[in-house]
Chains A and B, each alone.
Chain A
Amino acid sequence: MMTDFPTAFLFFAAGLTLLALPQGRARSILSLIVPILAGWQIWTLPEGALWQVTFFGLELELMRVDRLSRVFGLIFSLAAFLGNLYAWHVRDAVQQVAALLYAGAAIGAVFAGDLIALFFYWEGTAIASVFLIWARRTEGAYHTGMRYLIVQIASGVILLAGAALYWRETGSLAFETMTLGSPGTWLIFLSFGIKAAFPLLHNWLQDSYPAATVTGTVILSAFTTKLAIYALARGFAGTEILIYIGVVMTLFPIFFAEIENDLRRVLAYSLNNQLGFMVVGIGIGTEMALNGTAAHAFAHILYKALLFMSVGAVLYRTGTSKASELGGLYRTMPKTAIFCLVGAASISAFPLFSGFVTKALVLDEAASAHYKWVWAALVFASAGVLSHSGIKIPFFTFFAHDSGLRPKEAPTHMLWAMGITAALCVLIGIFPAPLYAILPYEVDFHPYTSGHVIGQLQLLLFALLAFGFLMRTGIHPPELRAINLDTDWIYRRAGPWLIARVVAIVSTIWGAVAGAVTSAIRGLIAHFYRSHGPEGRIAHIWPTGSMVLWLAVMLGVTLLVVYTT
């Protein structure tokens, strides 16, 4: 029975059903049941192309189940469950429906077997998710949401254009591995790259995620970018340029994250950095590297959600997520602090935590393929992750100087959401085998060798030592109330400035031209008025006399014409 319809439809139906239910617990319960049903359906579905629909003569493949799509479908269902549990208290129908539709669209996209179905779901994630930003209901959130929506919709439109060209080139719309080269594949690649937050295309992420609601950011963090990672893994595995794009992605955000004040934006930069590891894995493209990408996406969704949840809980209780305003909260929010530390240890890839057993897959593949500089950059980026997500987030929120804030511990449902997520982070770290078992390819990898463990501990502990040293010597930059420029400057400052300049120049020229034309016409009118107006010279002659004269001239001319022809 469960194979009778695509998983995405379950979420869409639930979105409609939710509106029919009275506001209150019933809606929250529905939001929890649906991801469980979806996860169970995905778990039990056989592999293969299970559901087609004909649309304007096109055969759309809505349920292509294989090992790659299954692992993403499962983690998306799990993320939807945890996010909705965290949002149990929300009594805002807009957010509740948006969260369901967004998760549904993301899962739909993962199971889409052709580019057109992918396009529909791709745009679906954009439209549903923007409401999680707008639901903040402030002017700033409205404007940020607009910028987010424009970028996301543009990604979809580029995907559609790419799909159309690809269809002309190959005669096929099937979403399979492609080779970069033709305009169509480049457009599809660009479309995926926007959503995956490639360098220079990345800033929608850091701009928008901190603008969403407390719970909205947790939900946003799971889907859009990892959908893009899935799409890249499906479409462009082994594309070498991705290795270098991925390396840049792991590197540049760590510098920005280090000096960013809004902790939810720090996490958005950190998210960008983690995507870099996945993109490198896709670029390498071997079976183990793709396993690494899928495993890292799985673990990353959990610990990233956990970190966003803990900072969100602080925001929910204190009204701010700015590092400069926080500090010392462990006193009254100790459980949230500990969950945050688990998330921090997981993303930093400490042994026994999830990041360790998943990131190692990608790093090991980069090393065994002898990408020396890539490997060196990734190891550096791993130390960088520790600096912002491992240290900065927990340290400046829950420890460091005492802000004097004494907020109450997070609400029970948030603690449950964080607790389950934290437990999963630890379980994956200690027992990686079940996760390895659901990866796209056979895994033959042992993360807990003495060399791996000691090497990683050396890297992290000495980086911590450096942090301690820099803090004690006062070299470490303080947390300041400020923002930092990024590429959004181009469309938030330079673009409007340029448009204002162009408007000024064009209106000056227009004013001058229009003024000249107007005064010329005025002059002409004045001239005729002088001669033909009531006071004009022509008006002095009695008109009947001149008319008779001109009539005589005309008759004379007619006579001449008649005689001569």
Chain B
Amino acid sequence: MNDTEDTSGFPALGRAMLWVDKPGSATKIFRALAVLCVFVFAAGFAVDMHGHFAVESFGGFYAIYGFVMFTGLILVAKALRVIIKRREDYYGDKAIDREDYPEDQLEKLRYDD
């Protein structure tokens, strides 16, 4: 974020959310998430999960499954990208990926316009 930028013209709601870009905010959010995770992990053992399968009776099943599978998904997707990624003009000039959206159908305005 540009520190010298004048943000006074931003919508109030946008200004209120600016703290997410303050230095250190991302770490705070991550830590808060980690605390939440610890809490729901513990909660899994406190409540009756009464699932249909044996694995569900382990209170932390969904947590571990979510973390592992999500990580696996990202890694596989990353590997997939190596195989299937192509330049934007791969299908030639008559593909929408190469075109700009027609200006006359847009209303491109800056916040201070």
A: which residues have CB within 8 A of B? 89, 136-141, 143-144, 210-211, 213-214, 254-256, 258-259, 262, 315-320, 328, 330-335, 337-338, 364, 367-368, 370, 372, 375, 379-380, 383-384, 386-387, 399, 402, 404, 406-409, 411, 449-451, 454-470, 472, 475-477, 480-486, 492-493
Contact = CB atoms under 8 A, between A and B. Distances in A.
Given A461-B36, A477-B77, A484-B86, A408 B109 contact: yes
Given A386-B70, A459-B62, A317 B109 contact: yes
Contacts of A455: 44, 49, 51, 56, 61-62
Given A140-B95, A402-B21, A458-B44, A335 B13 contact: yes
Q: Main SS of the interface on chain A?
A: helix
A470 B103 contact: no
Contact of B53 (A254, A317, A372, A476): A372
Contact of A211 (B41, B69, B73, B96): B96
A484 B85 contact: yes
B91 A493 contact: yes
A457 B44 CA distance: 10
Given A144-B96, A370-B52, A451-B47, A330 B14 contact: yes
A492 B62 CA distance: 41
B66 A492 contact: no
Contacts of B99: 138-141
A213 B102 CA distance: 10
25 contacts: A140-B96, A141-B96, A213-B105, A255-B77, A259-B81, A316-B108, A319-B103, A319-B108, A379-B65, A404-B2, A408-B113, A454-B62, A461-B33, A461-B40, A462-B64, A463-B69, A463-B70, A464-B33, A472-B30, A475-B74, A475-B78, A481-B88, A483-B90, A484-B86, A485-B86
B23 to A, nearest CB: 13
Interface in B88-113: 88, 90-91, 93-103, 105-113
A414 to B, nearest CB: 10
Given A139-B93, A387-B74, 19 more contacts: A136-B102, A136-B105, A141-B96, A319-B108, A330-B17, A334-B17, A335-B13, A364-B52, A367-B51, A383-B65, A383-B73, A387-B73, A399-B20, A451-B48, A455-B56, A458-B66, A472-B30, A477-B78, A484-B86
Contact of A387 (B40, B70, B113): B70
B80 to A, nearest CB: 5
B62 A259 contact: no
Interface string B1-40: 1100001001101111110110000000110011011001
A483 B36 contact: no
Contacts of A338: 13
Given A407-B110, A468-B33, A470-B74, A458 B50 contact: no
B106 to A, nearest CB: 6
Contacts of B1: 328, 402
B63 to A, nearest CB: 4
Contacts of A213: 105
Contacts of B69: 380, 383-384, 463
Given A316-B107, A319-B106, A328-B21, A459 B49 contact: no
A454 B48 CA distance: 10
B7 to A, nearest CB: 7
A463 to B, nearest CB: 4
Contacts of B2: 402, 404
A317 B109 CA distance: 6
Contacts of B50: 449, 451
Nearest to A386: B70
Nearest to A476: B74
Contacts of B103: 319
Most buried by B among A332, A384, A387, A482: A332
Nearest to A252: B80
A144 B99 CA distance: 12
A95 B75 CA distance: 41
B17 A459 contact: no
B52 to A, nearest CB: 4
A255 B73 contact: yes
A42 B17 CA distance: 43
Contact of B111 (A407, A476, A480): A407
